[in-house]
Structures are given as structure tokens and as C-alpha cells.
A and B are shown apart, each in its own frame.
Chain A
Amino acid sequence: MTTDAAKASDKVETAVDLTVGLNAVAGRLAPGGTIKDLRRLTAGATQEVWRFELVEGAKETPLILRRAPGGTRVSETAIGLEVEAQLLEAAGKKGVPVPDVRHVLTPEDGLGHGFIMSFVEGETLGGRIVRAEALAPAREFLARQCGEVLARLHTMDAGAFPMLRRLTPAELVAQYHAAYRASNWPRPVFDLAFRWLEAHCPPDPKEMKLVHGDFRNGNLMIGPDGVRAVLDWEIAHVGDPMEDLGWICTNAWRFGRVDLPVGGFGQREDLWAGYETAGGAPVQRDHAHWWEVYGSMRWGVMCSGMAAAFRGADPSVERAVIALRTSENEIDLLRLLAA
């Protein structure tokens, strides 16, 4: 779901235009600075990610441009790249590893919506993170470290982000239940899951916290030393902090390692111990389990929604294939609820 939110004059469609615009920005990032080697890293439907080198004399610094598709298309549910940049800065101040934001695009830049951040070296592909030999030492402590990072993340000041949506667990379930009903395609396993989620829903949290919303293997930059950056803040919101601890345990993000619930690299007890030791609220085990079930339901509803997207705005094979991954979540839900 995207809307053409900005004026046609804001549109930047080609790498050539981008290079011209970025060269102008480079002059402000560094005196006499220019850019080179601009290349697109992802063909993401929700965001563009570009890499380029900032050249200052003999010095070259790799930077990342994260930008709305075409500079202008703004997703209705995402928080907006300007807010995402603010979140990165606020997270960094709390000790959450994040890239440094170097510049937030302004209308004068003529490049649309987005921001420029430092390039963090490492691995984000989940399949490699759970298998790569070079990351074996990191996998020993990664679950615990994720807990520590989340404890710091959950100390961020939610009050500083009044633009973020505030959602209780019950409201989140209701939102996905409505999306499922609107899809008009019966999935008895989903009905079973919603029935269970509604019957066992945790109470409204005592304290609503800033929640990353997509904290999982695949959105973390990992090196042999562990978590180097927490990425993709576009669905951050204010809610129950347990959501983040459950999402990273959701089976969809284990990349084949069903025996290692935390991201396919660690055990829940280590995640929780890291969280509690670093100052996070005590983890209630039954709530943690609820959020894992919620995670499989959520990703299941998201996958099934790809069928409509495929028939609409994005008729790509990739989109069709994600829609056909809904069944993965159905078996995950059955393993959780009807083993």
C-alpha cells in the first residue's frame, strides 16, 4: 500500500539524478566532498537502500542512503523516514548499536524522503547468520546480547515520539484479526489461533514502552563480535515490550534451526537472562509464549496479505511466492497450539 504523497517535482527516478543530488549533499557533509560508486543494495518494496562512497580528498567513507521508493512513495503504515532517523539517534544515545545518522534529506535536497547513515560492516542475511562458520563464536552469546540490547532499547523515551501508534496487545490482535477477515479467504488454523490469542491475551502492560516492532534475525547487522546495528525501525510503535522478545523467537526467523528458538542461534533462557540482567522487566514465561504465537499469526496474516498485493500494486513472482509461505505459519501455529 503506497500513495504518491509528494509533488511530481520531488520525484527522483534514476541513479544519475541521485548522484547529482547526493553530490550537492556531500558538499555539506564534508567541505569539498563528492560522492562515487553509487549502487543500489536492495530492491525493497518499502524502502530503497543505496550505498556510496563519500570522498574528501584522499579519504573515502562508505555511507548508506535509505530512501522512500522513487523518493516519494510513502507507506501508510510505516512511520516515515524522518521519524526513523530520529529513532536511530535516540536509540544510539541509550547504547543500542545503530548506524550514525549523517543527514536527513530536506525538500531543498530534491531527493525525496530519506536519510544518510554510516555503513556498518557485517551480515544481515538470516540464513548465513545461523550457519556461517565465521559467526560461530558470536552465536554462543548472541541470544543473551539480543536481550541486553532490547533492555536498553526499552528505556527509550516513548513520550518523545507522540507520532507513533500506541497499541495494546488486545488492539494488535484485533487489528490482525480484522485484516484476516478482510482477506475473505477461510483459514481454519488462523481462526483457531485468533480464538486462542483472544482467550489468553496478556493484560494491558503496566507501562507502555517504545517497541522496535521488527526486532528479528534479518534486521540485525551481525559480526563475529555480535550485534553491530539494529536496523529497520519503520514499524516502531508504543506498546508491550514483550512483543520484541517474542518476535525474535518466532519460528519464521529461525532460518531452519527450529531447535534454536532465538533467531535460529540461541535459547530463550539466555535471551531472557540478558534482558533481565541489563535492567529489563522480569519476563513472564506465559506472556513470552503468547507473543511467540502472536508472531506466527502476525507473519501468517502478513504473508497471506501478499496475495492481494500481488494481484494489485506488485505483480512480481517474489510477491506471489511470499503469499505461498502462509502455510509455514499455519504449521508453526499447529505445532504451538495443537501438538
Chain B
Amino acid sequence: MQDQPTPSEVIGAVALFLKTVVAAETTGATSFQARVAANALEMMRRQLDLAPAEDDAELARLRALLGEDGTLAELNQRLADQIAAGVLDLTTPGFKDHLWATTLAKLAVDQPTYAAYRATLAERGANAPPKET
């Protein structure tokens, strides 16, 4: 067992440092790049926090949808191939829900402030994560 604090916590602290100190105390391209770097770290922190549970759920859905077992990468490839071949389409039970659940889970990590993501959550009556400042 590794020690505390966790990677997620340390990455969060570095992101905050980049944003509140480096970006604030530099100008032009360096300041901009520091903000970009802070955003990248925050993305990675969310991936560490959220992806394990989301990956498990995605794998379970893929197994049910395809009726076979494999790794996440293998089953995603199989799903992609079956869509391309027309074996599965939007009329297939569970298919559309799977694509939505998987995509929303990605956005929650990658781009939680993306307007179309927030609009989708609002339309579905779900609580959008707080807007980052």
C-alpha cells in the first residue's frame, strides 16, 4: 500500500499551483501554457478518480450487449466492428443507452464544462457538476 496523500490529491495541488501561481505571475504564452497544463492535470485527476468505476460499468454493459467476454479494448473493438457491419444499430435493445452512458462518462472526465454535455444533463434532469472557475 502506497502512502498518503494520493496521486489524485497531489495532482490537484500541482494544478492549483500552476493556475494560481505560475499562470498569475507570468504573461503571454507562458501564462497561457500554465493554464493549459493545469487543465490537463485536472483532467488526469478526474480520470484517476472516476475512470475505474466507469470502466467496470462499461465492461459489464459491453458483455451484456455482445454476449461475450474480453477486455475493455477487445469488446470495444468488437462493438465498433459490429456497428460498421450493420449487425448492431440504434434499434438494438441496450445499444443506444450504452453509447450514451459511455460517452457521458468520458465527458465527465474530459470536458465536464462542455456546453452540449451540460445541456444533455439538464435535459435528463441530472445534476451537472459545478462549473469550474
Contact = CB atoms under 8 A, between A and B. Distances in A.
Contacts, number: 85
Contact of B90 (A257, A318, A326, A338): A338
A328 B79 contact: no
Contacts of A235: none
A194 B89 CA distance: 12
A187 B100 contact: no
A238 B65 CA distance: 43
A273 B3 CA distance: 64
Contact of B80 (A187, A251, A337, A338): A187
A327 B111 contact: yes
Interface in B83-103: 83-84, 86, 89-90, 96, 99-100, 102-103
Contact of B115 (A191, A194, A258, A324): A258
B84 A327 contact: no
A313 interface: no
A320 B73 CA distance: 21
B115 A257 contact: yes
Contact of B40 (A186, A321, A332): A321
A188 interface: yes
Contacts of A328: 107, 110-111, 114, 116-117
B45 to A, nearest CB: 13
A186 B76 contact: yes
Interface in A18-51: 43
Interface string B58-84: 000000000000000100110111011
State the main secondary structure of chain B at its contact with A.
helix
A320 B80 CA distance: 24
Nearest to B104: A331
Task: Classify chain A: how many residues form its interface, as a range.
Answer: 20 to 34
A78 B123 CA distance: 40
Contact of B103 (A189, A191, A194): A189
A55 to B, nearest CB: 25
B121 to A, nearest CB: 10
Nearest to B105: A327
A214 interface: no
Contact of A324 (B43, B73, B80, B90): B43
Given A186-B79, A335-B120, A317 B106 contact: no
Nearest to B108: A327
A179 to B, nearest CB: 15
Contact of A331 (B79, B96, B103): B103
A130 B110 CA distance: 23
B31 interface: no
Interface of A: 43, 186-192, 194-195, 251, 254, 256-258, 317-318, 320-321, 324-328, 330-332, 334-335, 337-338
23 contacts: A186-B73, A186-B76, A186-B79, A187-B80, A188-B79, A188-B83, A188-B99, A191-B79, A258-B115, A317-B33, A321-B39, A321-B40, A324-B43, A325-B111, A327-B106, A328-B107, A328-B110, A331-B120, A334-B99, A334-B100, A335-B120, A338-B96, A338-B100
Given A251-B116, A332-B116, A338-B96, 13 more contacts: A192-B83, A192-B99, A258-B115, A258-B116, A321-B43, A326-B110, A327-B106, A328-B107, A328-B114, A328-B116, A331-B116, A331-B117, A335-B116
